[in-house]
Amino acid sequence: MTLPQDIAEFEGDWLLSRVIDDRLAGQKLRAEGRATLLRSEGGLTYDEQVTLFMPDQPPFQGTRRYLWRPGPGGIAIHFDDGRYFHRLMLGQAEPADHHDCPPDSYDARYDFARWPLWKVRWRVSGPRKDYDMVTEYRRR
């Protein structure tokens, strides 16, 4: 099994597909789009553009930016304003991490078993949140 070992292996364009199972709303949402990871000062900048499909609503366009920085054994992922988000450990088939954002809790599990196809599953819970979000990435 080949696993990513370095932040540079993520550089480039990725097609993404996402399913969000929102248990509070009792619905499943779907998103399609792309993520581009480009070299920037100190690492990579992750830019995401998606179209979100929600039941009985017109499609919605969304964007997201993260800063990926090399760190001991992996990648430190930050929000675009520089606040720390979570760590992605490299060299593991299913690295996991936790992000606490009171009153909500975010648990990530990556899956690199089919690299360069990869997935990340977020389990989000809190007083007003209860969803699983699975995103699959493949080279563009």
Q: Taking a C-beta distance cutoff of 8 angstroms, is the pair 93, 112 a contact?
A: yes
What's the rounded Cα separation, in Å, for the pair 62 and 97?
Answer: 25
Domain ranges of the chain: 7-139
Q: What is the pLDDT of residue 72?
A: 87
What's the rounded Cα separation, in Å, for the pair 18 and 32?
Answer: 6
Model confidence pLDDT, tens digit, residues 47-80 = 999 999 999 999 999 999 999 999 888 999 999 9
Query: In this structure, which topology does domain 7-139 adopt according to CATH?
Result: Lipocalin (2.40.128)
pTM of full prediction above 0.75? yes
Model confidence pLDDT, tens digit, residues 76-96 = 999 999 999 999 999 999 999
Residue 102, helix vs strand vs coil: coil
